[in-house]
Structure 1
Amino acid sequence: MEQERQHQGRENSGWCSQVKLWSGLVISIVLLSSCFIVSCVEKNWECCPSTWKSFGSSCYLISTERNFWAQSEQNCVAMGAHLVVINSEAEQNFIVQQLNESLSYFLGLSDLQGNGNWQWIDQTPYKDNVRLWHQHEPNFSAEECASIVFWSSRGWGWNDVFCDTNRNSICEMKKVYL
């Protein structure tokens, strides 16, 4: 009888060990699976068209074509974008890394009435937004469009220019989230 109880005790002990081991494994697998599923569900996949550059919540295309300001904006709109609206110095610093220092690029900023009332193409309030004009710019009311240009003595900055001059441009669109 004593031997039978000892034998049963060992069997129960072995069975309990196996149950504990399998329970631990099942709990671990469930926890890992839960973490994986939650991370997949919460993950936002951000996409830009293949030739566009990604920064923040936007995608940017540096145009290799030279056009007037209005035509540059139409070209951007045809791609689901608009001429770039620069909202921060960090955004400008990213953009200028993509630019050729010997070219000038239209921005989505204009004063089409020539009265000093500059407007961003997407209606971002000009007064509340960053302004990175070169020193003493804008300086001529007939120059009603803005460009970003590199001046060797000052680096990158904005300049008022004639809208009907041919320049490169920068298009911007919001990223697509999947």
Structure 2
Amino acid sequence: MNQQERVSPGTAAPAEGSSCSRLSPWVFLASALAVKTALMTVGLVVLFHRSCGQYKTLPENAQGWQCIPGGSASQKDSWKCCPEGWRPFQESCYYFSDDQMPWNESQQNCSGMDSQLVVINTKAEQDFIYKEIGRQMKYQQHSINLYIGLRAQEVGQWRWADQTPYNETAAFWRSGEPSDIPEEMCVVISYHKDIFRNWNDVPCRIRSYRICENAAVTL
């Protein structure tokens, strides 16, 4: 050993790992961040893959869908979906027309889309329809009539288009209606802002907008 390499007694040799010891906390932090980033990336990829897998089950000829969460505890991972141009609410999809027809033609038009004129069973459904009419820009006028699936075969004997029994407690007639006269056997929503109870019986031949309803697709 030459003189330059000899270590004097009582002098500690340089610690080769001292620089690594000072860096180790930073190395640990960088590693933890890298692991966290990797886990987040994997999670996003899995979520994206799952979503894509759901929508691949839809009909290939559908151009687009509008979906809302299934809602119930047993369906927490499911979606209620409607075709483009239809609005989802609970278990159904709703179509609000751009054109006007008499009641019979309105029902036929809905049938051609595998639906029917809307059947309103609850206050919540009436509230949804009332708000949706007010939301849609195409209906921004003083008042508007939209056919629903309620009509009478005889005066005062109301029946829904799908044969659902008429329930007086879930009816939302405008004040003074129905008039129960032979000339007015079909029902419209006569929309006016701030008037929630807005059903009105009218002659079935008048041309009105319409609301169609069909079942939502569950994914």
TM-score by length of 2: 0.58
Mapped pair 1:121 → 2:161:
yes
Asked if 2 retains the 8 angstrom alpha-carbon contact of 1:145 and 1:160, the reply is yes
2:81 corresponds to: 47
User: CA-to-partner distance for each residue in 1:12-49, whole Å, 9 max, x for gaps?
Assistant: xxxxxxxxxxxxxxxxxxxxxxxx99xx9963332100
Other structure's SS at 1:111 match:
strand
Q: Where do 1:68-147 residues align within 5 Å?
A: 68-99=102-133, 100=139, 102-113=143-154, 115-127=155-167, 130-139=170-179, 140-147=181-188
Change over 3 Å in CA distance of 1:153–1:104 after alignment to 2: same
Change over 3 Å in CA distance of 1:154–1:141 after alignment to 2: farther
CA distance in 1, matches of 2:84, 2:174: 32
Asked if 2 retains the 8 angstrom alpha-carbon contact of 1:87 and 1:129, the reply is no
Query: Letter of the aligned partner of 1:63 in structure 2?
Result: S
* Structure with more relative contact order (C-alpha pairs < 8 Å, separation 6 or more): 1
CA distance in 2, matches of 1:127, 1:94: 19
Change over 3 Å in CA distance of 1:102–1:59 after alignment to 2: same
Residue 154 (structure 1) shift:
4.2
Query: Letter of the aligned partner of 1:111 in structure 2?
Result: A
Other structure's SS at 1:134 match:
coil
Residue 97 (structure 1) shift:
1.6
5+ residue gaps, structure 1, are 1-35
Asked if 2 retains the 8 angstrom alpha-carbon contact of 1:149 and 1:156, the reply is no
Residue 50 (structure 1) shift:
1.1
Q: Select the structure of larger CA radius of gyration.
A: 2
Other structure's SS at 1:97 match:
helix
Count of aligned positions = 141
Other structure's SS at 1:86 match:
coil
Residue 150 (structure 1) shift:
2.5
Asked if 2 retains the 8 angstrom alpha-carbon contact of 1:66 and 1:167, the reply is yes
Query: Letter of the aligned partner of 1:66 in structure 2?
Result: Q
1:6 corresponds to: none
> What is the root-mean-square deviation of aligned Cα atoms in Å?
2.6
CA distance in 1, matches of 2:110, 2:125: 19
TM-score by length of 1: 0.71
1:61 corresponds to: 95
Other structure's SS at 1:104 match:
strand
Other structure's SS at 2:104 match:
helix
